[in-house]
Structure 1
Amino acid sequence: MTDNSENNRPGPSEDRKTRLTVLVALAANLLIAVAKAVGGLFAGSPALLSEAAHSVADSLNEVFLLAALRRSRKPADRRHPFGYGKERFFWSLLAAVGIFVMGGCFSFFQGFEALTQGGGEESRTGYVAGLAVLGVALLAEGSSLARALHQVRAQPGEGIGADPALRTVVAEDGTAVIGVLLAAGGMVAHMVTGDIVWEAAASLTIGLLLVYVAFSLGRSARDQLIGEAADPELHRGIRELLTSQPEIDYLAALHTMRLGLHSTLVAARVDLVPGIDSERLELVSERIKRAVRERWPEADQVFLDVVEAPRRVRDERPA
């Protein structure tokens, strides 16, 4: 049996690009988190403090994603014969939980506290400092988002949904840019009207946005962890290839499951034409599996189960 463990893992060059994208996002978020926290405490801004929590959550999530990139490349072993490709899905799920707990919940807390206790900036210096921090944050987050989107555009065949690490970075940076704009809008409205309800509303809106993003990322990671089927186009292509084989009389079932970013399990139940002996059966099976792997390299784990077609199918066959 051919060892396909290397196919379980993304190419080194692709991983290096994604790792660099995550590192850029991590550096930006660490710098911004400190600036937002200092600016938020100085200005007494709940919206800015919510954004600081958001950046801290994003920084922790980038650490999760770096762990995912490293661990998902481990080769298959006895305990994990299909490799560690699903490590990316697991750490992406943890990143989604981090966005919800550290970002969303803290933003809600800041918003409700501002509504119930009031308070806010006491001088225009605080407003200016807070807005200056948000301006720097917008530039940093925008640069990180541009880097991630550039990598997405460089992968036209896969898109944003292929790599959970890249998808999480794009979602985080996109949410961060929107959050900065919301926080800035709340601070400006607060400065103009003198009513902190605007900043509280901005903080609550940021919280809702983070919860939505966390839910979307978490649902995707959950589907991949519990066993998500391959792309419908891939499934359809494999079905067509199998049914076109002269030795296959009937395709009883075809199941696919993503094992990692570049690894897919294919399991098919087939009924072969009569008259194939055991020796030829092995040769036919290996040829069909090789044909699937050569046409779709990501379908690296292919299993064929020879079964007898149901009676109704046998009765419908032409004489």
Structure 2
Amino acid sequence: MLRLEDLNLFVRSAALGSFSSAAREADLPPGQVSAAIQRLERELDLRLFVRSTRSLRLTAEGERYLPYATDVLALLHEGHERSRSEEGDLSGILQVSAPSDVGRNVLLPWITAFCASHPRLSLRLLLSDRVSDVFREPVDVAIRYGLAEDASYVALPLAPENRRVLVASPGYLAAQGRPANLDDLSRHRCVLYLLGGRIYDKWVFPVEGKRRQVAVNGAMICDDADVARRWAVAGQGIAYKSWLDVCADVEAGTLEVVLPGQPGESAPLSLICPHRKQFSPAVRQLQALLRERLAPLEARLRGIATP
């Protein structure tokens, strides 16, 4: 008889490419994972993995079997969640990843309140600017900026009209002057962002239906979006940020929008999941709550632009 824990270890081993990684994730000895896979292979009369001292990969049979195993686990999880979630009484573990800035400064109080209203629900919140792979990492959903380029993902909109904006502190603008157009950006200090080893020093703007790329310079570079925002508030230069990240600073007067008549690059915020069946009641309710709360912030972005 197939064991669900063996099936789950098979799916996670395939995703992580390692028995030892799957064992660490499940807090099990590596030998126990290997034994589980061997047991599953005997039950199925299939060889699922090709093993060597340095690598682990699925066999052709394993590749064909993997989507069925994934669907079975997702269906059982959904049934479990639905059976325990009558009248909004959510339970279980909800694992969410989100970008550092919007996650910490915008979404955090709403997610905290959401969990407080469902005391049987446990939250695991991962804040990082590194893009989470929802197929490989143990998260239910990932909150992400940008358009979903992978058609295998399922995306639910949170703030579909969000855009990037140029911002700087009043002190910086008073000392260095205000750019009159995009060309002026090359003569200003800019706060730069580092992600995946790449420095984002070429900012993209929609101009007359095309994408215009503007090269910028700056001595302040970081790999944390929240730090970039704080540097801009401290007067270290001009930043090109998601409106959701800086709208509170703009309203507080600690940042000003630069070139408000120039639209910024589209930066829709979405909730990403590897499979629609994994949209549990908790995920669906959280998505509805966040979209409702983010809608007024999007409306304020429309209000700052000038023709």
Q: Shorter-chain TM-score: which interval?
A: under 0.3
- Superposition TM-score, scaled by structure 2 size: 0.22
> Could you say which structure has the higher helix fraction?
1
> Could you say which structure has the higher strand fraction?
2
- Superposition TM-score, scaled by structure 1 size: 0.21
